[in-house]
């Protein structure tokens, strides 16, 4: 399996760092009103656990990093913690309610005998289901995430944090900087007036940045999987982000309605985001 590359210029610019391959400044392409995101204000990234001192210095000194938001779950944070960075606040806003989204391992249910396993939504299914058709399972996850109440609440917290940041850059990350960050970025760009085509271009930029996958995804039994599966797990496919948009459209009509109804952003919230982050 080969990774595909995009011929067109994507929406965000990679920050050239030695230890962080998928860290990007969202300040390149104008939105539908001809406005751009101010440079050094919004940065999307994969995990910071392996960040070298020189890269941290680049982020703090050159990009004015003031705030990190970690989208990962508790286990991911404990196994690969973010570095402590002087003068930078770190907030934990885990995006996935794994049980509610049906992200379960068969042995978890077998060993515990808990009734909770029966209540899990059939989004990704067991690890056996996942390994048999991972692309299908990931697509289902993208469709389910925007509708999950816990996930909605967490993205609401994140967008309010971004809204209220008036000084320096906010960097938000998950593990690969693709799935949880991908949907989060789609929501930010939508609120800032970007069209879907530009948002999808930004999402697909991950493929060029990661190139050959070289990070742990935290998926059980991955060490037994084929290289094709490893590549699949670290690749961004249009079907994934399309599934999230389709789910939003089907249930809320438009992304704008979703921002107002599901994430409870007011017109004033959206105007404040635009004032804080957009420039001509």
Looking at per-residue confidence, does 11 or 169 come out higher?
169
pTM of the model: 0.84
Percent of the residues in the chain that have a pLDDT greater than 70, as a whole number: 78
Q: Where are the domains of the chain?
A: 13-96+123-279
17-27 burial: b if 16+ Cβ within 10 Å, else e: beebbbbbbbb
CATH 3.90.190.10, domain 13-96+123-279, yes or no: yes
The tens digit of pLDDT for each residue in 18-74 reads 999 899 999 977 898 999 999 999 999 999 999 999 999 999 999 999 999 999 999
The tens digit of pLDDT for each residue in 215-229 reads 334 333 344 445 677
Closest CA to 234 of 257, 206, 259, 255: 206
Measure Cα distances from 193 to 33, 43, 56, 153, 280 in Å: 7, 18, 31, 22, 13
The tens digit of pLDDT for each residue in 96-127 reads 987 756 654 444 444 434 444 433 333 455 55
């Amino acid at each position: 399996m080969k990774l595909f590359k995009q011929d067109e210029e994507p929406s965000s610019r990679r920050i050239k760092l030695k230890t962080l391959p998928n860290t990007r400044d969202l300040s390149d392409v104008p939105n539908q009103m001809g406005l751009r995101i101010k440079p050094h204000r919004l940065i999307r990234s994969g995990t910071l656990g392996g960040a070298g001192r020189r890269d941290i210095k680049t982020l703090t000194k050159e990009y004015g990093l003031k705030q990190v938001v970690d989208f990962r779950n508790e286990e991911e944070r404990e196994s690969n913690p973010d570095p402590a960075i002087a003068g930078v606040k770190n907030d934990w806003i885990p995006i996935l309610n794994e049980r509610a989204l049906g992200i379960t391992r068969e042995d978890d249910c077998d060993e515990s005998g808990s009734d909770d396993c029966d209540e899990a939504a059939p989004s990704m299914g067991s690890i056996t289901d996942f390994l048999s058709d991972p692309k299908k399972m990931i697509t289902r996850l993208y469709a389910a995430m925007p509708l999950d109440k816990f996930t909605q609440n967490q993205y609401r917290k994140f967008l309010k944090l971004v809204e209220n940041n008036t000084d320096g850059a906010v960097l938000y990350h998950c593990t690969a900087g693709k799935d949880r960050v991908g949907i989060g970025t789609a929501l930010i760009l939508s609120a800032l007036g970007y069209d879907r085509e530009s948002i999808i271009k930004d999402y697909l930029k991950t493929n060029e940045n990661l190139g050959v996958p070289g990070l742990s995804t935290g998926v059980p039994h991955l060490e037994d999987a084929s290289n094709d599966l490893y590549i699949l797990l670290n690749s961004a496919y249009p079907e994934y982000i399309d599934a999230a948009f389709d789910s939003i459209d089907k249930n809320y009509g438009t992304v704008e309605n979703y921002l107002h109804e599901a994430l409870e952003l007011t017109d004033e919230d959206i105007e404040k985001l635009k004032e804080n982050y957009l420039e001509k």
